Amino acid sequence: MTVKEIYTADLADKLSNGEEVRIIDVREDDEVEQGMIPNAQHIKLGDVPERLDELDAETHYYIICRSGARSLRATQYLEAKGYQATNVDGGMLAWKGETIIPE
């Protein structure tokens, strides 16, 4: 199954241009504690199926993880369930934009 992908630099451009972008970070808690993209929603990969009710089928989501493998799986799953999702290629390892430490 082929999914839509976006490079981290292109996602950063969307954010800096003020586009309303919904990002879901599917990394584990300890990874997110090292920093995440501001305003990203944290839903661990294993929790995605049980938290689908938190997502809007009309909203486009950008899915990110550490390197791009887990986010690819999450993107495939969400698209199979009828959601609009794009995998962030390279993940947080490739992210050069702002990060925050969640509370």
| pLDDT reading at 1 higher than 80 | no
Residue type at position 32: V
Q: Spell out the domain ranges in the chain.
A: 7-94
| pLDDT reading at 2 higher than 90 | no
| pLDDT reading at 99 higher than 80 | yes
Known catalytic residues?
65
71-98, pLDDT tens digit by residue? Answer: 999 999 999 999 999 999 999 999 999 9
Map residue 64 onto helix, strand or coil: strand
| CATH level 2 (architecture), domain 7-94 | 3-Layer(aba) Sandwich (3.40)
Q: Which two tokens stand for residue 100?
A: 């925050």
Classify 97 in phi/psi space as left (phi over 0), alpha (psi -120 to 50) or beta: beta
Query: For the chain, where are the E strands, in sequence order?
Result: 4-7, 22-25, 41-42, 60-64, 84-89
18-68, pLDDT tens digit by residue? Answer: 999 999 999 999 999 999 999 999 999 999 999 999 999 999 999 999 999
| pLDDT given at position 12 | 96
Cβ contacts of residue 94 below 8 Å, gap of 6+? 7, 8, 68
